[in-house]
Amino acid sequence: MIDLAISNLISPVVLFFAMGLVIALIKAKVEFPNAIGDFITMYLLVAIGLKGGVAIAEAGILSVLPAIIGATVLGIFIPIYCFYILKGMGKFKADDAAALAGHYGSISVVTFIAAATFLTNQNIEYEAFMNGLPAIMEIPAIIVALVLASLAKGRSFKKASTVNSETGADKLDALSEKKSLPQVTKQVVLSKSVILLLGAMIVGYITGPSGMVQVEFFYKELFMGMLSLFMLEMGIVAGSKIHELRKAGVFIVGFGIIIPCINAVLGIIVGGIAGLSIGGATLLGVLAASCSYIVAPAAMRVSLPKANPAMYLGASLGVTLPFNLIFGIPIYYYLATNIMRFF
């Protein structure tokens, strides 16, 4: 376990991320131009989706189906139990609880890439079609979180209406929130992360291994170099959000560390049920443990504008992302090696 942790800490991926954290903390003037940052993000999303689509074509859709079902179940279940923990134990408002639950039910592509790199560096094999699962887990978690918020607001409206029935403005607000759900769902499906992952996956599935050969240099040979730059930028972004933790509170810090570990165990168990290898179960555990900071924040800003961004950005970028990249990944692999003995 200690050897795995040390190996992860001295890997280029983590060191570039740590370099970005230091740059942000000492407030050095290092910024990525928006155009370059967007290009690197698009490159990584397309590369992951393409490789996932090729792998699904090679494996056959039927053999991948159990993992897809398992990933979808995780995307639905995780935000539900997170919502009630945040609302019950944390005493969060419905909007804040739903926003956080959606973030933790959704996934971080960066964490997934780092975990896949970790397994490759350790010569641990995993199912190549796992590259196709991130896009599948992005969508259901956010939809479930919005439904939970809508239901919670509906109940609170009913309670308020029994005490005081005035102009009906609250009712109109509740109805407008319900009407916005299909629009937000469409926004999530058509967001950059999801559309590039799914689109590239379809391209990879149609062209298969022969198509991948034609673009292999660009999407395989250059991948790690692009990833190192991306991790540097993510470190800078995460470091800039650490101060948000003061607003988020101690409970969020604990939540941002403990919940990913629980989610990882759930993901590993689902991976075992789906028949994945230790490496594949580790990656599914990492996906379950990760926290969105791209698709989910964009969706929550539109659908839950009253939710406090300091809560969900502070938790996702200030706590969970650094924890997963530095400590979580080797911990989840260690857990997988022990849990998978039962399958």
Domains of the chain, residue spans: 2-146+180-342
pLDDT in tens, 169-203: 444 344 444 445 576 667 667 777 778 878 888 99
- Does the pLDDT of residue 133 top 80, yes or no? yes
Which H or E element spans position 323? helix 321-323
Per-residue pLDDT, 58: 83
Given a contact cutoff of 8 angstroms between Cβ atoms, the answer to whether 133 and 284 are in contact is yes
Residue located via tokens 């003037």: 29
Per-residue pLDDT, 175: 40
- Does the pLDDT of residue 278 top 90, yes or no? yes
DSSP conformational letter for 246: H
Per-residue pLDDT, 323: 93
d(CA 317, CA 276): 29
Per-residue pLDDT, 184: 62
| 240-264 mean pLDDT | 84
Per-residue pLDDT, 248: 62
- Does the pLDDT of residue 254 top 90, yes or no? yes
Comparing 342 with 139, the larger pLDDT belongs to 342
**Token digits of residue 101:** 């639950």
Per-residue pLDDT, 11: 77
d(CA 128, CA 54): 9
Per-residue pLDDT, 5: 66
29-38: list long-range contacts, CB under 8 Å, 24+ apart. Answer: 30/236, 31/236, 32/229, 32/233, 32/236, 37/233
| 126-139 mean pLDDT | 81
Mean pLDDT of the chain: 82
Per-residue pLDDT, 176: 43
Looking at domain 2-146+180-342, which CATH architecture does it have? Up-down Bundle (1.20)
Given a contact cutoff of 8 angstroms between Cβ atoms, the answer to whether 107 and 316 are in contact is no
Per-residue pLDDT, 167: 47
- Does the pLDDT of residue 115 top 90, yes or no? yes
- Does the pLDDT of residue 166 top 70, yes or no? no
- Does the pLDDT of residue 237 top 70, yes or no? yes
**Token digits of residue 102:** 């959606």
pLDDT in tens, 220-231: 888 888 888 887
pLDDT in tens, 36-55: 888 888 888 788 788 878 88
- For 69-83, 195-209, 258-272, which range has the lowest pLDDT when averaged over its residues? 195-209
Contact partners, residue 111, CB within 8 Å, separation at least 6: 286, 287, 289, 290, 291, 321, 324, 325, 328, 329
Contact partners, residue 246, CB within 8 Å, separation at least 6: none
Comparing 238 with 64, the larger pLDDT belongs to 64
Report which listed range, 31-35, 106-110, 123-127, 317-321, is most confident: 123-127
- Does the pLDDT of residue 79 top 90, yes or no? yes
- For 12-26, 241-255, 274-288, which range has the lowest pLDDT when averaged over its residues? 241-255
Kindly report the pTM of this predicted structure. Answer: 0.78
